[in-house]
């Protein structure tokens, strides 16, 4: 690999711009913790071991 030509702030700005576009229409009620709620909202499977 060649000598680093790092550009962390430029990469961060690109990522930030992408997320601002994608998240522009998020509902006010959307919370960061909603992810775990989305996973847990389905029914429990039967035949659990414990």
- Per the document, the length of the chain is 50
Run of H or E residues at 37: helix 34-40
Rounded distance, CA 38 to CA 33, Å? 9
CB of 29 to another protein, least distance (A): 10
Query: How many residues of this chain bind another protein (CB under 8 A)?
Result: 42
Residue with tokens 């389905």: 42
Binding to another protein (CB under 8 A) within 1-50 occurs at 1-9, 11-13, 15-16, 18-23, 26-27, 30-42, 44-50
**Contacts to another protein by CB under 8 A:** 1-9, 11-13, 15-16, 18-23, 26-27, 30-42, 44-50
């Amino acid at each position: 690999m060649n000598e680093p030509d790092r550009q962390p702030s430029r990469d961060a700005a690109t990522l930030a711009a992408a997320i601002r576009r994608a998240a522009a229409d998020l509902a006010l009620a959307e919370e960061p913790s909603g992810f775990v709620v989305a996973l847990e909202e389905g029914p429990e499977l039967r035949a659990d071991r414990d």
